[in-house]
Amino acid sequence: MWIKTLSCFFISPRSTLYRSVKTIAPRVRFAPSPTGYLHLGGLRTALYNYFYAKSRGGVFILRIEDTDQSRKVEGSVQGLVNDLEWAGIECKEGPGKGGLYGPYVQSERLNIYQEHIKKLLHNGSAYKCFCTERRLNILKRDAVRHQRIPKYDNKCRSLSREDVDAKMKSGTPYCIRFKLSSECMSFEDMIFGGIAYDVSMVEGDPVLMKSDGYPTYHFANVVDDHLMEISHVLRGVEWQISTTKHLLIYKAFGWTPPKFGHLPLIVNSDGTKLSKRQSDVKVEDYRNKGIFPLALVNYITLSGGGFDHVVGEGVRLKTMEELASEFQIRKISSHPSRLNPDLLEECNRLEIKRHLKDENLTKALITNVQNLVTQKYPKETLNISEEHVKSVLDWSTSRISRIDDLVSPKFAFLWILPSNKLEINRSLFEKLLNSLEDLEKFEQDTIKDNLRKFSDTNDVKFPVLMKMLRSALSGLNEGPSVAEMMQLLGKYQSLERIKAVIR
């Protein structure tokens, strides 16, 4: 809202010059805060960084930004690591991985920030601020009342050395603020093009070190990106507004900043903010609902550009290697990335098909189905032989998009006997049983021919016969064709089910 009101904020088209610049061995990082789960947006950021590093022989780093201890959620670091690994993202440096630039958790780097803040205090770019929470709240309320942008009035900037010494002596709590110069900083965003912005127009001097001795996100982020020799920062667009502030901090240190690229928002298919109501937002939810990692990765990368690929009927998913080699920052769209949930289902279907072409992956799928079936029908399970499960899987690829669908009520007939009580013409069914028993080739076509002949010679209307048979076989009123169902169940199972209704 306030961007529009600024005269010094502009975005110019992406420079063509940038496109021809070759980068060598980049060092990139994914820097989540451990405040809960990995969100789809976070996964996309991690993936794009990973692909960028992978395609250029660079290094992908995981850094945990836990400077806001009050928002820290127990167990979320492990959750993030698990989700990244599940998605196929391997980090070369990070917590638990080691690396020359560690520690990779910000709360373990407090001494580093303490040491660096001294440099800024020393060169006059930062100062101690003794304002109380109460005073800051009054300033805020005042600004709101007068319809001004709430910002710190930089009062402590002008404290004399004596004032500061006296306050320190008396043990008054303080934070350390950065002296924001009123300068229009600009940079070339790798995705959005030229960005220029004067932070001081909307913000008072920002806090770098809090009174509890912890750095703020902005300070720690800059110090770490510099010390970890990060060459490219690819992060969500919500951080774009902070980048010029970061550039001022780099300048105060006399450091060369990395290159920045901001990824557009991920939105629902109708352009609205991604919300739990319309789709899942946690990576974990997708995993728990039977989405395969490569399907989710292709889905996410398809929605925001950066690659050449198309997914559709008969098209396969891209591997992580292919995605990495195709990835180009200049191909990322700066428009919000719209998610299309149908595409996710299609991607997952393609992934099931891919698994069925690989012996080991097929074995794992079969075990997965066997487990699902035994969990769902602990007492009644009939046939979960490898052979049966495999033929069900082959048959199901155009019918399901998730493996769990196979234990939904409409496919219960594949595993258990229908529990319905049928009113049937017993002698007719006995005859039918005999004719099917004589059938040597128990395949869809031969079964169908046999049933047609049977209906003609026994003077029973074909649709009526099918309805009864379908019910006997599956307990359902609709579903795959009767002959198809019989082939799938096999001769033994089909005949057993017919026998069951005669008894």
Which span sits near ligand GLU by CB under 6 A: 29-37, 124-132, 324-332, 451-459?
29-37
Q: What is the dihedral of CA 40, 44, 47, 51, to 10 degrees?
A: 160
User: What's the CA gap between 456 and 291, in Å, rounded?
Assistant: 47
Residues between 206 and 225 that touch ligand GLU (CB under 6 A): 217, 221
| Shortest distance in whole angstroms from residue 188 CB to ligand GLU | 17
Q: Are 266 and 339 in contact (CB under 8 A)?
A: yes
**Count of positions (residues) in the chain:** 503
| Shortest distance in whole angstroms from residue 489 CB to ligand GLU | 52
Q: Which is nearer to ligand GLU, 76 or 221 (CB)?
A: 221
| Shortest distance in whole angstroms from residue 167 CB to ligand GLU | 32
Q: What are phi and psi of 175, to 5 degrees?
A: -120, 175
| Shortest distance in whole angstroms from residue 147 CB to ligand GLU | 31
Q: Which is nearer to ligand GLU, 216 or 487 (CB)?
A: 216
> 66 CB contacts (<8 Å, ≥6 apart)?
33, 34, 72, 77, 105, 106, 107
Amino acid letter for position 140: K
Q: Which is nearer to ligand GLU, 236 or 490 (CB)?
A: 236
- Residues 32-46: b if buried by 16+ CB within 10 A, e if exposed: bbbeebbbbbbbbbb
Q: Which is nearer to ligand GLU, 235 or 282 (CB)?
A: 235
Which span sits near ligand GLU by CB under 6 A: 26-34, 116-124, 324-332, 479-487?
26-34
Which of 9, 14, 32, 400 is in the footprint of ligand GLU by CB under 6 A? 32
Q: Which is nearer to ligand GLU, 28 or 483 (CB)?
A: 28
Block residue for tokens 């891919």: 354
> 103 CB contacts (<8 Å, ≥6 apart)?
95, 109
Residues between 135 and 194 that touch ligand GLU (CB under 6 A): none
Q: Which is nearer to ligand GLU, 203 or 404 (CB)?
A: 203
Which span sits near ligand GLU by CB under 6 A: 31-39, 146-154, 407-415, 431-439?
31-39
Q: Which is nearer to ligand GLU, 62 or 120 (CB)?
A: 62
Which of 28, 31, 126, 432 is in the footprint of ligand GLU by CB under 6 A? 31
- Side-chain-side CA neighbours of residue 199 (13 Å): 21
User: What's the CA gap between 208 and 177, in Å, rounded?
Assistant: 5
Which span sits near ligand GLU by CB under 6 A: 6-14, 25-33, 339-347, 451-459?
25-33
User: What's the CA gap between 461 and 55, in Å, rounded?
Assistant: 64
Which 8-state DSSP code applies to residue 408? S
User: What's the CA gap between 200 and 149, in Å, rounded?
Assistant: 11
Q: Which is nearer to ligand GLU, 72 or 287 (CB)?
A: 72
Number of residues that bind ligand GLU (CB under 6 A): 8
Q: Is 256 helix (H, G, I), strand (E, B) or coil?
A: coil
| Strands (DSSP E) found in 111-161 | 126-129
Residue 409, Cβ density class (10 Å: 0-12 exposed, 13-18 middle, ≥19 buried): exposed
| Shortest distance in whole angstroms from residue 217 CB to ligand GLU | 6
User: What's the CA gap between 307 and 243, in Å, rounded?
Assistant: 26
Which of 28, 48, 61, 65 is in the footprint of ligand GLU by CB under 6 A? 65
> 424 CB contacts (<8 Å, ≥6 apart)?
468, 472, 501, 502
| Shortest distance in whole angstroms from residue 239 CB to ligand GLU | 5
- Side-chain-side CA neighbours of residue 330 (13 Å): 10
| Shortest distance in whole angstroms from residue 209 CB to ligand GLU | 17
Q: Which is nearer to ligand GLU, 230 or 297 (CB)?
A: 230
Q: Which is nearer to ligand GLU, 261 or 290 (CB)?
A: 261
Residues between 416 and 475 that touch ligand GLU (CB under 6 A): none
Q: Are 481 and 473 in contact (CB under 8 A)?
A: no
Residues between 277 and 336 that touch ligand GLU (CB under 6 A): none
Indicate whether 239 belongs to the interface with ligand GLU (CB under 6 A): yes
- By C-alpha distance, which of 480, 391, 400, 473 is closest to 433? 473
Q: Which is nearer to ligand GLU, 61 or 392 (CB)?
A: 61
User: What's the CA gap between 38 and 461, in Å, rounded?
Assistant: 58
User: What's the CA gap between 158 and 59, in Å, rounded?
Assistant: 44
Which span sits near ligand GLU by CB under 6 A: 27-35, 184-192, 251-259, 482-490?
27-35
Tell me, residue by residue from 370 to 409, as one string, x for binding to ligand GLU by CB under 6 A and - for no binding.
----------------------------------------
| Shortest distance in whole angstroms from residue 238 CB to ligand GLU | 8
Contact set with ligand GLU (CB under 6 A): 31-33, 65, 217, 221, 235, 239
